[in-house]
């Protein structure tokens, strides 16, 4: 004797309801907020972060002033600084006078002292050269722990200034990640640098833009293209109030 199969109408209805509930919950989790939450912004604008970045901005400006007018085929120049890599731990300005002018591609042996290495290279493009600074191994400086740090300064023949790239992997004593990648130029009349910190703010990557000239300087810290901190009249990085 055959038996009728139990009705699936109720289970299917229950599954449909459950699916709708889950879809609604997932949509709420992944919906785009109108802007950074106040708590997230507070984490991005902590006084310690702004103080470290303010010091770094002034270090960049000081290096630009020291190196102005110096790079040439007979004078290689560079600097070595980053957030947390300042004062005695960094190099505000370095001036190297090569025995011969660069004429072909060549990379010289590095020179290392106190875990800090420098290396000179000729690019092979006219008298162009590159000066590289990097940490020989991971190191602790003040409240920062660096897994790595590297900065390259490049000069093209007849150029009035240098271009540079920088990359660091670092954390501070509070566990903040100060990983950074940046680039910029230092010309006789202008400094222009952009640095990105992908993991410093829980809301997203922070971008620091620093520009200066004989007429003055400015710096902007942005989140998602929105300026959330700028240099004030006292040359200190302060919140704009736009991060809400």
pLDDT in tens, 104-123: 999 999 999 999 999 999 99
96 pLDDT above the threshold of 90: yes
pLDDT over 50 at 12, yes or no: no
State the DSSP string of 54-99.
HHHHHHHHHHHHHHTT--BTTBEEEEE-BTTB-GGGSEEEEEE--S
CA distance 116 to 108: 16
Structure tokens given for 37? 């939450």
Q: What percent of the chain has pLDDT over 90?
A: 77
The pLDDT of residue 36: 45
Confidence of residue 40 (pLDDT cuts 50, 70, 90): low
Q: Which residues does 13 contact at the CB level (< 8 Å), separation at least 6?
A: none
pLDDT above 70 (res 18): no
pLDDT of residue 17: 38
- pLDDT, mean of residues 126-130: 97
At 216 the pLDDT is 84
């Amino acid at each position: 004797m055959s038996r009728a199969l139990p009705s699936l109408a109720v289970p299917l209805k229950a599954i449909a309801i459950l699916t709708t509930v889950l879809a609604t919950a997932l949509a709420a989790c992944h919906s785009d907020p109108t802007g950074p939450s106040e708590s997230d912004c507070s984490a991005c604008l902590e006084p310690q972060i702004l103080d470290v970045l303010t010091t770094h901005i002034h270090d960049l400006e000081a290096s630009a002033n020291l190196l102005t007018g110096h790079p040439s085929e007979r004078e290689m120049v560079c600097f070595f600084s980053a957030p947390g890599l300042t004062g005695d731990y960094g190099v505000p300005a370095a001036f190297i006078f090569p025995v011969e002018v660069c004429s072909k591609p060549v990379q010289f042996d590095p020179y290392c002292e106190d875990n800090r290495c420098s290396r000179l290279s000729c690019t092979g493009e006219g008298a162009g050269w590159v000066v590289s600074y990097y940490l020989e191994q991971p190191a602790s400086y003040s409240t920062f722990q660096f897994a790595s740090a590297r900065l390259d300064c490049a000069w093209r023949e007849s150029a009035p200034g240098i271009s540079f790239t920088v990359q660091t992997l670092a954390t501070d004593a509070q566990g903040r990640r100060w990983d950074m990648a940046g680039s910029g130029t230092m010309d006789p009349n202008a400094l222009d640098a952009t640095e990105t910190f992908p993991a410093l703010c829980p809301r997203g990557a922070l971008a620091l833009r620093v520009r200066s000239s004989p007429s003055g300087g400015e710096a902007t810290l942005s989140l998602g293209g929105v300026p959330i901190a700028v240099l004030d009249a006292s040359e200190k990085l302060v919140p704009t109030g736009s991060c809400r």
